[in-house]
Structure 1
């Protein structure tokens, strides 16, 4: 076996291994299929296929930026009604420990593993930056995030997506009327969650008093395009973040962009060259510090500009 290499960043893996991993984490390839395909490239890294998979899996504790007990914020687990969805939505609500005046509210939508520690940390990071953030767990009807990424992906495939999307609408409606909120709603989502943000931007929500409302700002990170025949319904400003090497998601962008332009939707889109799908997730080797920093700065800048005042 060749000398073992460092396996801490995307460049340490053969590109085909990263493609296999992308298919694996999105349920397009079983674990056995990943291990079989990765074995061809494992000797180049001086590792086994199982070691490659382990290295690509998240390290939540190492990447945590805001501890749950951080004195700058207050967090709580809340449950809200979702009569058109699964009956109840459960998630983490995070807000600054002290605030002067109403604050913008941000819906944080996870990847296809439910509300794992990384997404909880994203919500806490937003609270530190003076937003109220709510991160629902789509897996709540099935017992919630199980603490294991493989089990979480397996559970995710059992969800009724029509009901799950109704749960995210219920969460958005809840935030629009949240005490302490200013009635302005942003959403940020990653991978699966990015696709939900794109879809949510097309939906008519329910504001206080039952009045029709809409998402104000949506920031999908490498999210699938929504139904193109509904793009004209988008009222939100969009900031779309793409990974340069993300062939699967990027394939849908030209048609989506054409629909956005035709509908006159206000949007900006950025492609971060040379980075992988999941580049913002700092718990895995696909994380890219430079791209993630710039993308998050742009996200916060838009939320601050469009949702305050």
Structure 2
């Protein structure tokens, strides 16, 4: 199966953005689009491989680099620095990832220079959660770019996102009424007052052991129902946060296999 995968840059006003694009080489006509929204780790090898998987399913799949500033990443967010943080966290149980005290206790065991580099990049990454509105602007610009892009012109567009990207997938649904569907993998869910803009079906996947995120699901489901909007979801018992990421120790193969099949079914329906 031959893919045409490349990085594309485009301008929106005075800003330049870049996104990874992937499609089947022999798919000559414009294709329905899946926007693949990164985890906090950026457009890393996992996100690019996942984008290719959607392309192999017959879509134009695109992954915007939310960390690129005018087409380039700042030093703290270069791939090698982010990989250091990931490698460190992969030595810890998933339950420690979001426990600052336990995490710092493990960090102090590292050599000073390595500890400082990891701490600096970690703070930059997670400080980026305060820039969600900025990332949302990049996604809105990407959606607009796709309206006239030669490989997607005239086609429907849907989104899927993971962790931070899951939250952004839901946020995009709230501000872009033309979005055909949104998939949320273990991302923070919008508040009740933010639901009115959602016009498309939303599908969610969550880990039963990921209480910080999964505890939001019942309230969101009820609010969506009251607003007359479509939200379906799965909670996988025994699965942690990031259960879909097969490069992490949190990977849960049964949950990931089921979620993948249901995601493809969802896109087949909303992008038809």
What TM-score do you get using the length of structure 2 for normalisation? 0.78
Q: How does 1:1-309 map to 2 (within 5 A)?
A: 72-83=2-13, 87-99=15-27, 101-141=29-69, 142-143=73-74, 145-149=78-82, 150=85, 153-157=122-126, 159=128, 160-181=131-152, 182-204=154-176, 213-308=177-272
C-alpha deviation, 1:147, in angstroms: 2.7
Q: Deviations over 1:274-301 (max 9, x none)?
A: 1111110001121111110110000011
Residue 111 of structure 2 is matched in structure 1 by none
For each residue in 1:155-191, what CA deviation from the matched residue of structure 2 results, as whole angstroms up to 9, or x when unmatched?
3345443322211111122223322224201101000
Q: CA deviation at 1:148?
A: 3.2
TM, length-normalised to structure 1: 0.69
- Alpha-carbon distance between aligned partners in 1 of 2:225 and 2:41, rounded to the nearest angstrom: 33
The 1-side partners of 2:148 and 2:4 are apart by 19
* Deviation by residue 1:18-59 (Cα, 9 ceiling, x = unmatched): xxxxxxxxxxxxxxxxxxxxxxxxxxxxxxxxxxxxxxxxxx
Does structure 2 retain, via aligned residues, the 8 Å contact 1:139–1:145? no
Asked if structure 2 preserves the Cα contact closer than 8 Å seen for 1:116 and 1:147, the reply is no
In our comparison, the structure showing a higher alpha carbon Rg is 1
Gaps of at least 5 residues in structure 1 are 1-70, 205-212
Aligned-partner Cα distance in 2 for 1:158–1:286: 23
Instruction: Tell me, yes or no, if the aligned pair for 2:132 and 2:168 is still in contact at 8 Å.
Output: no
The alignment covers a number of residue pairs equal to 228
Structure 1 segments of 4+ aligned residues over 4 angstroms from their partners: none
